[in-house]
């Protein structure tokens, strides 16, 4: 596999905490606007250029995207960001609560994505691909890193970890309590050792950022069509990502809340659920403790749900996921939610918000019932990807998230 150094456009030390921002797709337009009110340097002005307008603007409009490019140029012109003098790898460590993960910012091959050597587990939406591909083309940069992982190999892990020492280039803690530390690696011998080691790796896996990856590839194909004599070395043939060993990553639960019981009384609903699950009332709060345990919160009461024998095929990696078991045995047949991607009666709550958010949503009357899930495992995700299958929607919530704006890949 190809892991390629690049000359990043990146903030000066004193500006990184002001510029860096969450991924564009985990904040709403209003949240991004709120940050920008107090912070004129925020990278949201690049990644969410609609906030550069007083009212909502069409993110498919090149004129809107052009303001993102101009903000990036302004950050560079004012000396808040600069271009690295030579190609580098950027060792990236995140510390959150008791969790630490150490990886590498680099660029990755569009062709290896096309050849499915960079494996996916999620469907992408064409409209979102269109928007982000246009963003790449207008801004002429990959502004948000794709989140990649590889199956851990001690010798490769060590090659990266040995550079996560000494005085870092960046070291700051963000508004979510995540500490971001970056070391810049420019030594050509050390860069070559890392690049050579990865050549023996069979595949990379997308953990998060499927739309960012697909959009980078779409933009690259357009650039190639516009430049038929391309050599393959142009920057548009590679996209920005952060790569981590799989055994350092953390998936949180991705929970569900539903607005009504589909015409059932609470008694009827629990009776129907009991046909497919062993239902146990719980005193106090219940958080699933293992795979194939699901928490249900209804009318200020918690229940433990355990799927009965025969409700799923343990040998089918997709069917045996807890999110599939819930969907196939409860959400679809009892609550009538056939397509959770499009049904307005269901919403999804990332585990970062905690069980308390499920209780709040139901107790507020906004939703009738909540389901607390046990996190999907990294091993299940790798297996799904290796089998070329697709995870059900909202199966994984990786935390901590990668920051955008720490390094930018210019095209």
Contact by Cβ (8 Å): 271, 232: no
Give the C-alpha distances (Å, rounded to integers) separating 85 from 9, 19, 82, 308.
10, 20, 9, 61
Closest CA to 302 of 331, 323, 280, 277: 280
Contact by Cβ (8 Å): 332, 392: no
- DSSP-derived secondary structure letter, 308: P
CA-to-CA distance for 105 and 205, rounded, in angstroms?
Answer: 15
Residue 100: per-residue pLDDT = 97
- DSSP-derived secondary structure letter, 407: S
CA-to-CA distance for 325 and 170, rounded, in angstroms?
Answer: 43
Residue 118: per-residue pLDDT = 98
For 179, left (φ over 0), alpha (ψ -120 to 50), or beta? beta
Residue 352: per-residue pLDDT = 87
Residue 196: per-residue pLDDT = 98
What are 40's two structure tokens?
A: 């004129």
CA-to-CA distance for 367 and 348, rounded, in angstroms?
Answer: 11
Tens of pLDDT, residue by residue, the chain (411 residues): 999 999 999 999 999 999 999 999 889 999 999 999 999 999 999 999 999 998 888 888 999 999 999 999 999 999 999 999 999 999 999 999 999 999 999 999 999 999 999 999 988 888 889 999 999 999 999 999 999 999 999 999 999 999 999 999 999 999 999 999 999 999 999 999 999 999 999 999 999 999 999 999 999 999 999 999 999 999 999 999 999 999 999 999 999 999 999 999 999 999 999 999 999 999 999 999 999 999 999 999 999 999 999 999 999 999 999 999 999 999 999 999 999 988 999 999 988 888 999 999 999 999 999 999 999 999 999 999 999 999 988 898 899 999 999 999 999
Closest CA to 186 of 194, 178, 177, 197: 194
24 burial level (CB within 10 Å; 0-12, 13-18, 19+)? buried
DSSP labels, 156-225: HHHHHHTTS-SS-SEEEE-TTS-EEEEEEE--HHHHHHHHHHHTT---EEEEE-HHHHHHHHHHHHHHHH
> Using CA of residue 27, residue 32, residue 38, residue 44, what is the dihedral sign?
positive
Contact by Cβ (8 Å): 1, 112: yes
Contact by Cβ (8 Å): 242, 40: no
What are 200's two structure tokens?
A: 């023996």
Closest CA to 385 of 121, 207, 148, 149: 121
What are 282's two structure tokens?
A: 């719980």
Q: Strand, helix or coil at 63?
A: helix
Sheet-wide strand order for 170-173: 118-119, 204-208, 146-150, 238-245, 99-109, 89-96, 179-185, 170-173
Q: Which residues are 82's β-sheet partners?
A: 10
Give the C-alpha distances (Å, rounded to integers) separating 93 from 86, 102, 183, 245.
22, 4, 9, 12
> Using CA of residue 271, residue 276, residue 279, residue 285, what is the dihedral sign?
negative
* φ, ψ (nearest 5 deg) of residue 383: -65, -45
Residue 60: per-residue pLDDT = 85
50 burial level (CB within 10 Å; 0-12, 13-18, 19+)? buried
Which domains are present in the chain?
9-250+399-410 (no CATH), 254-374 (3.30.1760)
Residue 393: per-residue pLDDT = 84
């Amino acid at each position: 596999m190809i892991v390629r150094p690049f000359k990043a456009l990146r903030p000066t030390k004193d500006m990184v905490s002001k510029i860096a921002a969450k991924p564009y797709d985990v904040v709403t337009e209003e949240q991004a606007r709120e940050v920008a009110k107090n912070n004129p340097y925020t990278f949201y002005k690049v990644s969410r250029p609609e906030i550069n307008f007083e009212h909502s603007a069409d993110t498919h409009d090149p004129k809107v995207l052009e303001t993102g490019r101009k903000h990036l140029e302004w950050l560079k012109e004012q000396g808040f960001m600069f271009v690295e003098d030579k190609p580098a790898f950027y060792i990236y460590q995140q510390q959150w609560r008791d969790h630490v993960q150490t990886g590498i910012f680099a660029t990755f091959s569009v062709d290896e994505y096309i050849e499915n050597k960079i494996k996916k587990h999620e469907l992408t939406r064409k409209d979102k691909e269109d928007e982000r591909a246009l963003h790449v083309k207008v801004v002429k940069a990959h502004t948000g890193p794709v989140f990649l992982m590889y199956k851990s190999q001690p010798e490769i892990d060590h090659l990266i970890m040995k550079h996560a020492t000494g005085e870092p280039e960046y070291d700051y803690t963000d508004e979510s309590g995540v500490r971001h530390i970056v070391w810049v690696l420019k030594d050509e011998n050390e860069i070559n050792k890392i690049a050579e080691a990865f050549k023996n790796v069979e595949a990379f896996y997308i953990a998060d950022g499927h739309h960012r990856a697909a959009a980078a590839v779409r933009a690259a194909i357009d650039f190639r069509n516009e430049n038929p004599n391309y050599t393959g070395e142009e920057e548009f043939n590679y996209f920005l990502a952060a790569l981590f060993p799989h055994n350092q990553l953390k998936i949180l639960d991705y929970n569900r809340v539903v607005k009504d019981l589909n015409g059932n009384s609470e008694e009827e609903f629990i009776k129907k659920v009991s046909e497919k699950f062993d239902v146990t009332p719980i005193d106090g709060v219940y958080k699933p403790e293992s795979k194939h345990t699901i928490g249900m919160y209804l009318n200020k009461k918690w229940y433990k749900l355990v799927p009965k024998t025969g409700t799923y095929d343990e040998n089918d990696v997709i069917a045996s996921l807890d999110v599939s078991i819930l969907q196939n045995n409860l959400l679809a047949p009892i609550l009538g939610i056939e397509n959770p991607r499009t049904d307005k009666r269901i919403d999804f709550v990332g585990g970062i918000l905690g069980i308390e958010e499920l209780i709040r949503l139901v107790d507020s009357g906004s939703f009738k019932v909540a389901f607390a899930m046990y996190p999907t495992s990294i091993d299940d995700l790798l297996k799904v990807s290796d089998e070329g299958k697709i995870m059900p929607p909202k199966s994984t919530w990786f935390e901590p998230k990668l920051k955008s704006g720490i390094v930018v890949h210019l095209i």
